Structure 1
Amino acid sequence: MPGLLVAASAALIAWLAHLALPAVPMLTAAVALGIVVGQIPALRPALAGSLAPGLRIAARRLLRLGIVLLGLKLSLVDIAALGWVSIATTIGVVVLTFVGTIGLGRAFGLPGHQPLLIASGFSICGASAIGAMGAAVRARDEEQAVPVALVTLCGTLAIAVLPALWRPLGLSSTGFGHWVGAGVHDVGQVVATAQIAGTTALAVAVVVKLTRVLMLAPMVAITAAVERRKPTDAAGPHPAIVPLFVAGFLAAVLLNTLVPLPEWLLTGADQLQTVLLTMALFALGASIRLGELASTGWRALVVGLTSWVLVAALAYGAVLLG
């Protein structure tokens, strides 16, 4: 309970920060707060002691529940309305960024599952994808913390950088929305970036972004299938090809597509999903130790920034093709 209460308190603080600065998404504020807390020496004994069990539950179980509820944001009807060209180019951006980032991470010698997790976050849907992929391959919380910090950093930079490039690149408001949806990582960051160009851009950006979110299930399933081919080690038995929370995510997508759910239910689920993910990302942020990353963290930073440029460039090309 102590760790969960701290995570819930952090979610409240992140919400207040979002109210004060609407351009800063709650999830971004939560990660930043967690990183700050994790650097305070006086708090580290508590983080590693009495708070650790609750923070571990927040970083794992609450994150998975949040991903399941994320499925209620998606409707296959809305995605189909984009047209096959937009859908195909969006899928292409996801796959090319995913493969390219993994290759880049391995070339820079990033340890463990970091290349896979960074690729998942930058190509699919930010910290949610990192948590989903981390759960599928049984990555340690420490392995997930750095990719979460990177995707939060770059997504925050996108909120400032992409609007500045909107006019110089000659994009219409609709084209800008498509570019943001295909090139920015987290859903909250997409909303914060696209709303600058108006409601039409925001609507397009959200639908394109949710098309990328839908790629979470097949990408996790394929990765889990690849993991099953590796020898079993001390981490335990092979992961399921489709983890239970991913099956729940798909069930939520189908439910929202096939059943006319009341608005109050969707609104409540959206708010609960935001709270769960905010608590989870605070817990992941609190596990980051910047001092320990100083010697090797530059490699992950280079991979993250390069992946960000890659996804933005591919997304811009997708807009031109569309």
Structure 2
Amino acid sequence: MRQALPGVLIAIALAALARGMAQQIAQGAIGLPKIPLSPVMCAVLLGMLWRNSIGVPVWATSGLNWTMHRLLRVGIALVGLRLTLGGAGAIALTALPVALICLSVALVAGIAIARLLTVPRRLGLLLAIGTAVCGCTAVVAMSPVIRARHAETAFAVTCVVLFGCIAMLLYPWVAAHFFAASPVHAGIFLGTAIHDTSQVIGASLIYSQQNAAPAALAAASVAKLLRNLSIAVLIPVAAWLTQRAQERDGGANLDPAAAASAGRTPLVPFFVIAFVGFILLRTIGDALFPPAGGWQAVINTGYTASDLFLTCGMTAVGLSVSFTDMWRIGWRPLAAGFVVATLVGSCSLLLNLGMVRWL
């Protein structure tokens, strides 16, 4: 932990600066028009600007990785305190058909477009899985299962980061335009249209903060949880299909390191289980304790901690985005990733608009 401390402190300092900047801009205190700018959006943009202008020192890398992968996921898990089983169940029933259709579109379109653009089969599958399920987590989990090469995994992660970050910064404004009167559908749109869990949480926080609509964060979290759970089905299916394919071609083109690590990745990320656990805790606590007093103080503390952890984590996400790395992977994987991301976002938008209008 001592080795990680410098990077953690950098993330905290930039997050605090981003919150201050967002406040000043929102109040029009620095000579700019009053703009309700989210602290999370400021944090991500500030992190990206810092990484691609000043750079990130090597001694800060481990701490920033810890902030992005550990602290951020604790913040995501704590979002579960905003929900009870009844509330989560109602959102899940609405979000489930949207999530399933978007998942299917991403998988089918990702594989088909990758084949059309002659992107390698395993890279195409990783792009499809990353867009369909849970972004970088899904790519890293699926990579050893399908025996992908390290370069293919790196390319897929880069595409997920690029298009997920673009969606994270753009889609909150789209949601505000189309779902101004329905924050739940705004959250479901963000939760089913954006790649990675961290990016979904970042986008829903931006929407919630700029539109004073906390329900969007809870709805986006539940919709994303449904997508995350699908990995528990997709990984065994992919493993079986890969095994059959390798039996047919005699094991050619395997990456030995990927093959050795297959099966080590858990089917469901721990933070997803923790998220459900906090929903259960909130449900039981609401049933046992009065709405005011000590229990409410616990909930408020959870809210505050979640917001702080998420803002610091999203700052670290911004600090991880290298524009130089984006352009090294070639136009074909980028084109495939862009088309699939656009199709999934459009599909989610149309489905949610239909539900708002006709249901």
Q: Which residue is equivalent to 1:276? A: 309
Q: Which amino acid aligns with 1:58?
A: T
Shift in alpha-carbon separation, 1:162–1:78, aligned structure 2, 3 A? closer
Shift in alpha-carbon separation, 1:254–1:153, aligned structure 2, 3 A? same
Shift in alpha-carbon separation, 1:191–1:31, aligned structure 2, 3 A? closer
Cα offsets for 1:202-244 (capped at 9, x unmatched): 4764564344144255234334544665679625251223343
1:26 and 2:49 matched: no
Q: Which residue is equivalent to 1:219? A: 230
Q: Which residue is equivalent to 2:61? A: 52
TM-score, with length taken from structure 1: 0.75
Q: Which residue is equivalent to 1:43? A: 55
1:147 shift after superposition: 2.5
TM-score, with length taken from structure 2: 0.68
Are the aligned partners of 1:64 and 1:245 in contact in 2 as well (CA < 8 Å)?
yes
Q: Which residue is equivalent to 2:277? A: 251
Q: Which residue is equivalent to 2:104? A: 99
Q: Which residue is equivalent to 2:78? A: 69
Shift in alpha-carbon separation, 1:20–1:133, aligned structure 2, 3 A? farther
Q: Which amino acid aligns with 1:63?
A: L
Q: Which residue is equivalent to 2:29? A: none
1:92 shift after superposition: 0.6
Aligned equivalents of 1:271 and 1:216: distance in 2?
26
2:55 aligned counterpart, secondary structure? helix
1:311 shift after superposition: 0.9
1:234 and 2:257 matched: yes
2:88 aligned counterpart, secondary structure? helix
Are the aligned partners of 1:60 and 1:135 in contact in 2 as well (CA < 8 Å)?
no
Shift in alpha-carbon separation, 1:252–1:164, aligned structure 2, 3 A? closer
Q: Which residue is equivalent to 2:129? A: 116
Are the aligned partners of 2:158 and 2:326 in contact in 1 as well (CA < 8 Å)?
no
Q: Which runs of 5+ in 2 are unaligned?
A: 27-35, 145-152, 192-199, 244-254, 290-294
Aligned equivalents of 2:138 and 2:62: distance in 1?
21
Query: Which of residues 315, 338, 353 is equivalent to 1:301?
Result: 338
1:150 shift after superposition: 2.6
Aligned equivalents of 1:196 and 1:8: distance in 2?
22
Q: Which amino acid aligns with 1:27?
A: V
Query: Which of residues 289, 310, 313 is equivalent to 2:347?
Result: 310
Q: Which runs of 5+ in 1 are unaligned?
A: 121-128
Q: Which amino acid aligns with 1:151?
A: G
1:145 shift after superposition: 5.3
Aligned equivalents of 1:196 and 1:57: distance in 2?
28
Are the aligned partners of 1:180 and 1:194 in contact in 2 as well (CA < 8 Å)?
no
Cα-Cα RMSD: 3.5
Shift in alpha-carbon separation, 1:308–1:182, aligned structure 2, 3 A? same
Percent identical pairs in the alignment equals 20
Shift in alpha-carbon separation, 1:268–1:145, aligned structure 2, 3 A? farther
1:240 aligned counterpart, secondary structure? coil
Aligned equivalents of 1:74 and 1:8: distance in 2?
27
The 5-angstrom pairing of residues 105-144 of structure 1 reads: 105-109=110-114, 111=123, 113-120=126-133, 129-130=134-135, 133=138, 136-137=141-142, 143-144=156-157
1:66 aligned counterpart, secondary structure? helix
Are the aligned partners of 2:99 and 2:227 in contact in 1 as well (CA < 8 Å)?
no
Query: Which of residues 180, 184, 201 is equivalent to 2:186?
Result: 180
1:8 shift after superposition: 1.4
1:156 and 2:163 matched: no
Q: Which residue is equivalent to 2:7? A: 3
Q: Which residue is equivalent to 1:126? A: none
Cα offsets for 1:292-317 (capped at 9, x unmatched): 32343344333323322111011112
